Chain A
Amino acid sequence: MSDEVTAEILTTHILDLAAEGKRLDGRGPDDYRPISLEPGFVVTADGSALAHIGDTAVVAGIKLEPGKPFPDTPNAGVLTTNAELVPLSSPTFEPGPPQPGAIEVSRVVDRAIRAAETIDLTRLVVTPGEKTWVCYVDMHVLDHAGNLIDTAALAAVTALAHATVPARRFQVGESDYPLDVQHVPIECTFVRLGDTIVVDPTFHEERAAQGRLTVATDELGRVVAMQKGLVGAFSPDDVKEIVNRALRHGDRMRALARGGPA
């Protein structure tokens, strides 16, 4: 269970272990915790997935509804992404308006989905300037044991990859059809623990971390988004090494997202 204040001797122990290339749960610096995916977890959504990375759990739901395009982009559909860090999931979350942490998760996941052109927004348009599909990507955190970004992103992308456009229900078309997903971005988060950079941090590793870097890559091997967080620094060489690791992990996780349950 997460404490409000982490004891410094635990943080020191995590850093001591990292110096030996070891981690509290026995993983190596480049090991993810077990990942499992359950697409279609929520039938009221047009696409959904429950994602677990270790004990961290996030449900993502896609809702597609007709709406108006933005006035300055009449030929583009609308994509909106939101992460709810609900108090159910952690003693460190309070009820109320979104805190900076929630907003960051929302925007980081949004950035990867958008930059990778996961869905072609022009194809969401029904009548230019008048009618378009609005694609809502809502992520709901259930259990926060560290690394919300990767878990939320994986849930979101899996949900998109299994989504159906409800054309019939909204009388926009004759029949429903699968949402066309062109690219599949995967986010991989790393933290610095002393001189060692580890992937997929747990809650306590995040507390001990001296910097965090998230890299999103797609199936074409492109880097599509990056976000540095927490307090600490990475050298350009660090970043290059992290990108290579993210590409490898991305490929593996992408296969899960497309294929279904691990």
Chain B
Amino acid sequence: MARDHRSGPRRRGREGSASRPTGDRVLVLPGEEIPGSGLKPGPGTYRVNGKVYASVLGLLSVRPPLASVIPLSGRYLPKPGDVVLGTVTDVQGTFWLLDIAAPRWAPLHMTGTPWNIEVGETEKYLRPGDAVVVQVENLDPTGRIGVTMMGEGLGKLEGGTIVTIAPARVPRVVGRGGSMIQTILRHTGAQISVGQNGRIWVNGNPEAIARVSEVLRMIDAEGQRHGLTERVESFLVASGPSTDQGPNEPGPEGAPRDAPPPLPELADPPREYDPEEPPEND
């Protein structure tokens, strides 16, 4: 189909290597031109006639010459290396289909698990409704999402509950250098496994689960606003004492098999968005 209003070869951006952004964090909308010359189109942008435009609604991040837009909304888009929480929706002879809140289901092959499974026995290990932690391995050009359950911290989840937030808010839950998640763990002693897809497993005593759930709801609702860290801290302090349990202590009875580690990866927030840095415009 001719799309000649986007004349010339359209260069769509792809993720580059992670480095700290100098971004202005300005909100941009699809079709808005990104000012600057010699810009290369990063994720969330497109180039026409030498000019780069935003293609999604999000925050502008310019690390010359790369211009990108970090989406503020929309479904979770998988990236290799992401740890995500999935729900089994279907079982076949050699694989299961997982709903990972992405544009497509993700097939988990029986060879991608630590179990020794015979063909046709898949249902004995995972059934529809089971929740699992898996890692995205690859994305093929047809959009198929390859996941594996082999690896530390991956496996079937038992007990606890799952809280769902917007994927764009996940970096806020982790915080810079893991600061926010550490605060939550320190105050509640809960076990938490953060999925990049916005699904978060929380386990612990009922009070811990309730407090963590409330904090996650606050972050989901107010993630863009200033002072969130302070509000979360005040809430945690007001709603109960810090526990002496360090985050590595096991939770109460019913610790899950193949339990994910209490602390998520402490690498830089994956979306090149620094939530702690005060915005320049306010």
Contacts and interface: CB of A to CB of B under 8 A. Distances in A.
Q: A and B: partners?
A: yes
Interface of A: 1, 3-13, 16-17, 20, 22, 24
A7 B129 contact: yes
Interface in B58-113: 87-89, 99, 101
B24 interface: no
Given A9-B157, A10-B131, 10 more contacts: A3-B101, A5-B87, A7-B131, A7-B162, A8-B129, A9-B162, A12-B159, A16-B206, A17-B206, A22-B206
Contacts of A17: 206
B162 A5 contact: no
A13 B130 contact: no
Nearest to B209: A13
Contact of A3 (B99, B161, B201): B99
Interface of B: 87-89, 99, 101, 128-131, 157-162, 164, 201, 206, 209, 213
A9 B99 contact: no
6 contacts: A8-B130, A9-B131, A9-B158, A9-B159, A13-B209, A24-B213
Task: Give chain B's interface secondary structure class.
Answer: mixed
Contacts of B164: 1
A98 to B, nearest CB: 25
A5 B131 CA distance: 10
Contacts of A3: 87, 99, 101
Contact of B161 (A5, A10, A22): A10
Nearest to B217: A25
Contacts of A11: 129
A83 B88 CA distance: 32
Contact of B129 (A6, A13, A20): A6
Contact of A4 (B89, B159, B209): B89
B99 A5 contact: yes
A7 B157 CA distance: 10
A20 to B, nearest CB: 7
Contacts of A13: 160-161, 209
A6 B161 CA distance: 11
Contacts of A8: 129-131
Contacts of A7: 87, 129-131, 162
Contacts of B89: 4-5
Nearest to B157: A9
Most buried by B among A6, A9, A11, A12: A9
B208 to A, nearest CB: 13
Contact of A10 (B158, B162, B206): B162
Contacts of B213: 24
Contacts of A10: 131, 161-162
A262 to B, nearest CB: 22
A9 B160 contact: yes
Contacts of A1: 164
B51 to A, nearest CB: 36
A178 B111 CA distance: 69
Contacts of A16: 206
B126 to A, nearest CB: 11
Contacts of B209: 13
Nearest to B161: A13
Contacts of B99: 3-5
B33 to A, nearest CB: 33
Contacts of A6: 87, 129
Most buried by A among B87, B131, B209: B87
A7 B101 CA distance: 12
A17 B88 CA distance: 23
Nearest to A14: B161
Nearest to B198: A1
Nearest to B159: A9
A241 to B, nearest CB: 26
Nearest to B130: A8
